[in-house]
Homo-oligomer: A and B are copies of this chain.
Amino acid sequence: MMPTLYPYSTLRSFTEAVFLKMGCSPTHATMATEALLAADLRGIDSHGVARLSGYIRLWEAGRINATPSLRIVHETPSTAVLDGDGGLGLVVAQEAMNIAIEKARQVGTGWVSVQNSNHFGIAGYHAMLALQHDMIGMAMTNASPLVAPTFSSDKMLGTNPIAVAAPAGEQPPFVADLATTTAANGKLEILQRKEQDTPSGWVQDKEGAPSTDAHILKKGGALLPLGSDREHGSHKGYALGAVVDLFSALLSGANYAPWVPPFPAYVPMPARQPGKGIGHFLGALRIDAFRSADEFKQSMDDWIGGFRAAAPIHNEQRVMVPGDPEREAFELRMANGIPLEDSVVRDLHDVAAQFSLSLQHN
């Protein structure tokens, strides 16, 4: 079945209405909507409106606070720890980034570690908030454990993404946004729907043996760190995921390692909670705290142009710059609409019914 195309404006007003019904302030509802739908627009379907009902279930279970009082717990001129008060990570991360940007304005860089938050959508969206200020943005988050460290059968880390966004001049910005695993969980979900196996090197079974079963996570298996196995550098992907955990949770006082709260509301909370909620880490670096922003952007254009001109191995696969695929999806979907699978549409209609809203489609 072909997915149905929904205009961005339709999904936007619907999603905003849902967040308002949850009790979010108008400002927070708008912020949450923009962060959530940025995933759909950028082609990362797993993290967008398909998760709206998941956020609602967490709110119903009392695991998301729709009216949080954000509070800076501790700060210095270039740093802060923000308590998200159990709010939507979609909102909390943006507030944290705003603090980082303000600090960068003052002293060159700003770094905010966040405790007591929830899932924040795609890391790239938050990192990109810095771009309009001629700053480099960074965003990371920890997440519930799906990933086994090298040599282990235990799931100890989340997919713990890292995003870095840097402005260019004539060229579009550089936006790297990557889970520190070989494959993100969303890619497994696509294979599950198609009843296909995974490539080798993506997952292992509950004993830690290699597997290609796209359903293996439900059977006690785990995602593999970027690098897949020791011989191909999985210890590096594991180390990067660990660094994200340190910055997001150990610096802030959030839960870490296997004790990060799960996204599905039906999964019980971990028995132990060494910290508060989920942790993020947001950073902003003012370009002209290092050199003139114009010079930097000229160099970025030159850098990007160099990579676009690199020789392709196959003519049909051109060399891309981080951010290219997502930007192409953005342009297509803004113009033509966002494709939603039938299961997602049904889910959204259930959400509509719950809140006496309607999901219009023209």
Contacts and interface: CB of A to CB of B under 8 A. Distances in A.
Interface of A: 73-74, 76-79, 81, 106-109, 111, 113, 136, 148-154, 156, 162, 164, 166, 174, 176, 178-183, 199, 201-202, 207-209, 226-228, 231-233, 235-240, 242-243, 245-246, 250-253, 256-258, 274-275, 285-287, 289-291, 295-296, 299-300, 302-303, 306-307, 310-314, 317-322
A72 B248 CA distance: 31
Given A240-B178, A322-B239, A77 B108 contact: yes
A313 B166 contact: no
B178 A311 contact: no
B322 A79 contact: no
List the 9 closest pairs (A to B, CB-CB), nearest first.
Answer: A208-B313, A76-B108, A176-B239, A79-B108, A77-B107, A79-B289, A178-B236, A154-B310, A78-B108
B318 A156 contact: no
A121 B355 CA distance: 60
Contacts of A151: 312-314, 317-320
22 contacts: A74-B291, A76-B286, A77-B77, A77-B78, A77-B107, A79-B285, A81-B291, A109-B109, A113-B290, A149-B319, A150-B320, A151-B314, A153-B312, A153-B313, A176-B243, A182-B233, A207-B313, A228-B228, A235-B320, A242-B307, A251-B285, A274-B302
Identify the interface centre among A207, A246, A252: most chain B CB within 10 Å of its CB. Answer: A246
Contact of A256 (B74, B113, B303, B312): B303
B201 A232 contact: yes
Contacts of A226: 226-227, 233, 236-237
Contacts of A178: 233, 235-236, 239-240
Given A235-B320, A311-B154, A166 B246 contact: yes
A300 B245 CA distance: 11
A311 B152 contact: yes
A106 B108 CA distance: 13
A156 B289 CA distance: 27
B182 A300 contact: no
Contacts of A235: 178, 320, 322
Contacts of A256: 299, 303
